[in-house]
A and B are shown apart, each in its own frame.
Chain A
Amino acid sequence: MILGLTLICALINHIFLLISLGVGILSLMIFSKILKRVSTFLGLFILFAVTAIAITAFITADWRYALDYFSPFLARFFIIISAGLLFAFTTPPHNFAQSLQQMKFPTAVTFTMGISLRYIPTLAGEAESIFQSLKLRGIKFSKWEVIKNPSYFYRGIIIPLIIRTIKISDEIAIAAESRGFKCDQKRNSLHKISIGKNDVLFLSTLSLIFIIIIFLDKNLLFLSLS
């Protein structure tokens, strides 16, 4: 939802408005106490932004041009990324899958989604075991090594990971059916997720901000043209 609305706001042209929107989302992050955990991702983004600008500036030998050219693009990018992170870090996967289920999405979609989120830590564990096995066989896995010898990466990580994934997914499928799961049936849920007061408040505030921003954007555009 946030993601979709941010996409619309990415239509805005004025850098000043984009930045204020970015600051807004950042403050929401601070409010929900996830800033520390998302800082790695944001750091990566900033690194990317600085390199992109630096490279363009180096090629064109014109700092102002590079900055002008990239800043609206990067600001939009920043908004989309941070909105996505805000969502990912504040919504438990099970709740998300369940909301979709209640919104009458097909069970096949919601179940698959719930399961794939559930198994991310498991797969991370599998990947760690595989890394350790490679280390035991004396294969060092630095970034340089991967570039120098991509076959190690493919044989050493992708193949065992695919084999494990297939095996695990087979087991999951059997276990699910054994517990009465069927794709085309009507499921019930123990806890209903409903739209609360906060959700309505958040949604209406957000819509209001959007309308104002789009209005301002059009008018500023008009002003700057005249």
Chain B
Amino acid sequence: MLDYALEINNLNFKYPHQINQALKNIGVKIKPGEFLFITGKSGCGKSTLARCLNGIIPHIMGGEFSGEVLVKSKNTLQHEISDLAQDIGFIFQNPESQFFTVKVEDELAFAPENMGLNPPEIEDRIEWALNEVEMGEYRFENVFNLSEGQKQRIAVAANLTLLPDILVLDEPTSNLDPPAARKLFKILGKLQRQNKTIILIDHRTNYALQLADRVLIMDQGEIVQDQKPDILLDEDTRKHYGIRNPQVLDDNFSPVNNETKPQKPLLNIFKLHYSYGNGFSLDDINLHISPGEVLGVVGANGSGKTTLAKVLAGILKPDKGSISWSNDDSSFKVGMIFQNPDHQLFMDSVYNELNFGLEELKLKTEEAAYKIDLILNSMNLAKLKKRHPHSLSGGEKQRTLISAFLVREPHLLIMDEPTTGMDYYHMQKVVREINRLQKEDLGIMIISHDLEFLQQTTTRLVILSQGKLIKEGPTEKLLTKENLRQCFPGYHGLSS
């Protein structure tokens, strides 16, 4: 038996046209059957390291590469990615872009077909892999009909059909709600007990505490900590390296944001109903939002959170019920930031992005320019105003978008999963922005699964389940372990 499943010696890497090294002197040895968790701030190099593990770097993404990566003693420099595929499986953040066919069965057959295996052998492997991820009954299902969590489990199964000893997962739970994430991690735990080596790269730390044997913390391209998982419990280490708290609801929990002045509601939603015509509908939603309030919307994937937001934003027209606004002067009442800001950035510079479509508002040019400059300064974007929006980092894109809506003076700002894949450090920046916007008497609505973030920003929560509003109340009352466990089985922890 091999001593190490993976061996990385003195690895250095620099992306083309970049000044800083992405990876500096990385040396790690990973034993067979080990569960390794790699975390750290955005841009710390953890995804780059993952890409080195199966040869994506240097084979597909080039750059200055030195040192060696040995996958079961095979040097990645001398073996192509497809040669290594039988030893190391790779699961990506977005299940949508790792599927090549429309049927679950075909998807699972893809990898063994590439190896030129015989149909009976492929048949056996599909059967086995589907059972491993507890999706046996979905063999003939269309992948478009699966939930995000099920898609990600199929992605794991599609890698398992090559019988790899090592699995690398790069932020596999970003698009998943907590119950789906829990299910995925349960399966990973089971695979580890079958002596698979598992390498998980993520910002979410709560499952690592229970599953990982070893935790690597990275910062600026270096491994700065190589420890037992307990290190995640140390608050100073977490703050220092910008790492998320693994036990949000466990200790000294209290909501941070209590500032609400009682005010006349900004809008009233009365008996709202919306149906997609495919069986799912929002039903009988009654809700009000006040200025200066931060409302959190919580619920499993598919519970209707985004649909509700889109109805409020005027993208979808409700079938029944009413939304009444307290003041009707502006035609742009709502700004909404989607989960993926790439869909919402159109222009060639940050400045033009803010200016985009303003002529429709009939603002004078000088007036608009003055307003844009004011907002760019307050949102800390003045330095970036000539940059191309698509060249910005995730957080900067988000700020550009918020600013683009602020120019239109909205009454309500909706953010859909604003902290997906965000570390503690960057999340804190968003928290500060929301606190500032709140003071400007804007109504803010946040859709999120991120308990730590909800805890620090929201004043009130609503919980949706299957298109119905099932609970509503102040954050301090609703954001408790007991309550969440009641509303979503499996919201927190593996043991529950």
Contact = CB atoms under 8 A, between A and B. Distances in A.
A137 interface: yes
A186 interface: yes
A167 B343 CA distance: 12
B100 A115 contact: yes
Interface string B116-137: 1111001100100000000000
A160 B112 CA distance: 35
B472 to A, nearest CB: 26
A212 interface: no
A175 B92 contact: yes
A198 interface: no
Nearest to A132: B315
A136 interface: yes
Contacts of A137: 356-357, 404, 408
Interface stretch (B239-247, B254-262, B329-337, B374-382): B329-337
Contacts, number: 151
A190 B85 contact: no
Contacts of A171: 92, 94, 97-98
B115 interface: yes
A160 B346 contact: yes
A132 B310 contact: yes
Interface in A140-154: 152
Contacts of A173: 60
Nearest to B119: A190
B68 to A, nearest CB: 20
B114 A138 contact: no
Contact of A180 (B114, B118, B361, B405): B114
A45 B474 CA distance: 58
Interface residues of B, number: 66
Nearest to B390: A163
A135 B113 contact: no
A126 to B, nearest CB: 7
B354 to A, nearest CB: 10
Contacts of B150: none
B97 A130 contact: no
A188 B82 contact: no
A188 B101 contact: no
A185 B81 CA distance: 13
Interface in A116-146: 118, 121-122, 126, 129-130, 132-139
A116 B378 CA distance: 44
A163 B342 contact: yes
Nearest to A92: B102
Contacts of A182: 80, 82, 114
Contact of B116 (A126, A132, A188): A188
Given A136-B344, A138-B408, A190-B119, 16 more contacts: A93-B102, A118-B102, A129-B343, A130-B343, A137-B356, A138-B331, A138-B332, A155-B346, A168-B97, A174-B56, A175-B100, A179-B162, A180-B115, A182-B82, A190-B105, A190-B106
26 contacts: A94-B101, A94-B106, A114-B100, A132-B315, A134-B346, A135-B314, A136-B314, A136-B336, A138-B360, A139-B360, A159-B346, A163-B342, A164-B342, A171-B94, A175-B100, A176-B100, A179-B110, A179-B158, A179-B159, A180-B111, A181-B110, A187-B116, A188-B115, A188-B117, A190-B113, A190-B123
Interface of A: 92-94, 111, 114-115, 118, 121-122, 126, 129-130, 132-139, 152, 155-156, 159-160, 163-164, 167-168, 171-182, 185-192
